[in-house]
Structure formats: C-alpha cells, structure tokens
Structure 1
Amino acid sequence: MRLYAQTPARRVRQVIADLAAVALIYAAVRLALAVHDAIMRLAEPGRAAERSGNGLADALGDAGDAASNVPLVGDQLKKPLSSAAEAGTGLADAGRALQDTVGDVATLATIALIAIPVVCVLLLWLPPRLRWIRHGDATRRLASAPGGVDLIALRVLTGSQLALAALPTPPGGFAEAWRRGDEQVIADLAAIGLRQAGLRF
C-alpha cells in the first residue's frame, strides 16, 4: 500500500496537506490548553474564598471552644461563635463550588476547542487521502494484472480528451490504435492514466 504519489507534484501536494492537517490539529490542542489555563485562573477567587472560609471557621471554632470554658456564660458565648464558624464553612464551600464550576467550564471548553477543529480537519483531509490510497492501490494492481494496461488506456480514452493533447495522434486516431493493440499507443495512454492517479510504471 502506497501512502504517497510517485509523481512529484502530487506527492508535494499530499505532503503539504498532511503537514497542514497535523499543524492545525497541533494548533487546536495548544489553543485549547491555553484557554483551559486561562479559564482555570478564574478559579483563584474560589481558592481564596475557600482558604478564608476555612481559616475563619477554624479561628471561630477555636474561639468558641475557648469561650465554652468561661464559667456561667460559656455556652452562651460559644453559640454565636459556632454560628459564625458555620458561616465560614459555608464561605469555604462556596469557594470549592466556584472552583468546581470553573473546572467544569474549562474542561468543556477544552474538549470543544479540540474536538470541533479536529473533526473538521479529519472530515476535510482524511476521506480524500484514504480515497487516493485505495484508488492508487487499485490502479497499481490493475496495471500489473494481465490486460490491466489496456484497461487503464481505455479509461484514458473514455475520459477527458485534454489528456491526449500531449500525445501525437496515431493514424486512424487513438481509439483505432487501441483496438489494433498498438503497444506504443497503449503504453502512452496507460502512462497518462497512471500519471493522473499519481503513479508511474
């Protein structure tokens, strides 16, 4: 199985197309990762809120524990401090929730920014490449099969007549020469057919 054409012009086009596809996929991945990092920076307020909330909850919890040791009024002093500590825990929870939301948005954006361009590139690039590989393989097998060169020459005869302009017209025309089995004309026609497919004898 041949991945690239034998004719230089088509091979260059194929290599350029392959490199462009790889470069576009690489650029899409790099862009997606940069966007992911930028979005994740938006989670910093959430991290700050979580740290502050945890610190506040710990400090107020410790103060409430210390206040509970005050004789007679210890339990009454502890209740408002415990309530404030719960508010600090709520602030920490809100900070974690913000970080989770930002992380989810960053992940979805990254997936979308990678998947959409990659799918578009693959849909535009891969089918023609696979089609050429199959067609080139089938044409090579046909050229090496008995009578295959005749069939390739016939394909050229029934195709665009512009391809025949480069050849000298044999007596009676190309079709008559093909019917007679003129080996030189058939070889010339088959060479055109192979060249159209990006192949050579």
Structure 2
Amino acid sequence: MLADVTALALIAVSVRFALAVHDAIMLLAGPGRKVQTAGDDLAAGLEGAGDAASRVPLVGGFLKKPLQSAADAGTGISDAGQSLTDLVGRVAALTALGLITTSVAVVLALWLPPRLRWIRRSGITRRLLDAPGGSDLLALRALTGPMGDLAAVPAPPGGLADAWRRGDRQVISDLSGVALRRAGLRP
C-alpha cells in the first residue's frame, strides 16, 4: 500500500509541477497581449481619425486614405500580438503535457511491474492456501524462509519443524500465517 500511495503522490506532484510550469510559460504571453491591445487601440484611433478626416470638405478622401492604411498596420500589429499569445499558449500546453506524460510514464514503469508481480504472487499464494494441503506447503515455506519471522510462532516441545512433520494443526496454521504475512497478505 505504501508503494501505491507513493506512486499516486509522485503522479500528483508531477501534475502540479507541470501546471506550475504551464503558468510560468504563460507569463511570457503578457507582452503579446499588450502588443495586441496596443495594435487594437492604434487601429481604432486611426480609423476614428480617418472617419473624422473624411468629413473635411474637398480633401477628406485624400486625408482618410493614409490614416486608413495606418489603421490597417495597427491591425497587423494586433494580429502579431495575438499570434504571439497563441504560440506561447501552445508551447505552455505542450510542455505541460510532455512533463505530465513523461513523469507518469516513469512512475508507472517503476511501480507497475513490481505491483503486477505482487498481484500475481498473492493470487497464487491465496489459491495455494485454499487448495487441499496448501496450508502445509505455506507452513513449509515459512520454515525455509528467514528465521526472524518464526520468532512470533510459539515453539512446541521438539521444535517447529517436528510439530510441522507431526501435522500439528495449530503450528501449521501459525506458520502459514507467517508465510502469508511475508507475501504481504493477511492470514
């Protein structure tokens, strides 16, 4: 369970980090938004000036043309600012997606194979316990494993191995419980 919680925590941390990187990159879009706003304001002001100049008798049409051309240039500046903002947004999204994908893939590559092995091994152990004579085999496995785990089993006269050979049900049950705990399962 600790490995599962650790894997989930690492994935959560990597997602939060990727979102923080996304937000940091999006700060670079600020100048693009300012250029877009300045271009829009310039275009609107020059169009207004062109409209006002067009009302001047006799020369209004001549005055409006250069002001309209300048307004079109302001629109071009605004479009460039919008393009910059869009580009920064795409880079931020792709960077965050790449960070999330990479970190989740690494965590899964490190966590999933041992987890799948444990699931397979615990399934086999449970089926063995349910099979006829399975608790005897698990007790034998406990006897052949590390000795430190056997300290929790009360030793009858003659020792644990002798009690197992005699078929002592309590000792076999206690030893199979040791084997289950070693496998990460509850007896």
TM-score range with shorter-chain normalisation? 0.7 to 0.9
Larger relative contact order (C-alpha < 8 A, sep ≥ 6)?
Answer: 1
How is 1:116-155 mapped onto 2 (pairs within 5 angstroms)? 116-153=102-139
Which amino acid letter does the alignment assign opposite residue 71 of structure 2?
A
Among 143, 166, 170, the alignment partner of 1:182 is 166
Instruction: Report deviation, 1:194.
Output: 2.7
- Relative to the length of structure 1, the TM-score reads 0.75
Aligned twin of 1:3: none
CA distance change for structure 1 residues 89 and 195 in 2, over 3 Å: closer, same or farther?
A: same
Higher share of residues assigned helix: 2
Among 45, 68, 76, the alignment partner of 2:62 is 76
Which amino acid letter does the alignment assign opposite residue 146 of structure 2?
A
Which amino acid letter does the alignment assign opposite residue 183 of structure 1?
G
Tell me if 1:49 matches 2:35: yes
CA–CA separation in structure 2 for the residues paired with 1:146 and 1:92: 80
CA–CA separation in structure 2 for the residues paired with 1:150 and 1:143: 9
Among 5, 18, 21, the alignment partner of 2:4 is 18
RMSD over aligned CA atoms reads 2.9
Secondary structure at the residue paired with 2:184?
coil
Counterpart contact for 1:163–1:192, Cα < 8 Å: no
Tell me if 1:96 matches 2:82: yes
Aligned twin of 2:146: 163
CA–CA separation in structure 1 for the residues paired with 2:87 and 2:13: 26
User: What residue ranges of structure 1 are gaps of 5+ in the alignment?
Assistant: 1-13
Instruction: Report deviation, 1:23.
Output: 1.9
Which amino acid letter does the alignment assign opposite residue 166 of structure 2?
D
* Runs of 4+ in structure 1 over 3 Å off: 150-157, 161-168, 188-193
The size of the alignment, in residue pairs, is 178
Instruction: Report deviation, 1:177.
Output: 9.4
Aligned twin of 1:6: none
Residue by residue, what CA displacement relative to the aligned partner does 1:137-176 show, whole Å, maximum 9, x if unpaired? 321221122122244456668xxx55369699xx9xx7x9
Which amino acid letter does the alignment assign opposite residue 106 of structure 2?
C
Percent identity at matched positions?
A: 56
Aligned twin of 2:97: 111
CA–CA separation in structure 2 for the residues paired with 1:129 and 1:42: 42
Instruction: Report deviation, 1:134.
Output: 3.0
Tell me if 1:37 matches 2:23: yes
Which amino acid letter does the alignment assign opposite residue 79 of structure 1?
K
Secondary structure at the residue paired with 2:146?
helix
User: What residue ranges of structure 2 are gaps of 5+ in the alignment?
Assistant: none
CA distance change for structure 1 residues 89 and 23 in 2, over 3 Å: closer, same or farther?
A: same
Which amino acid letter does the alignment assign opposite residue 126 of structure 2?
R
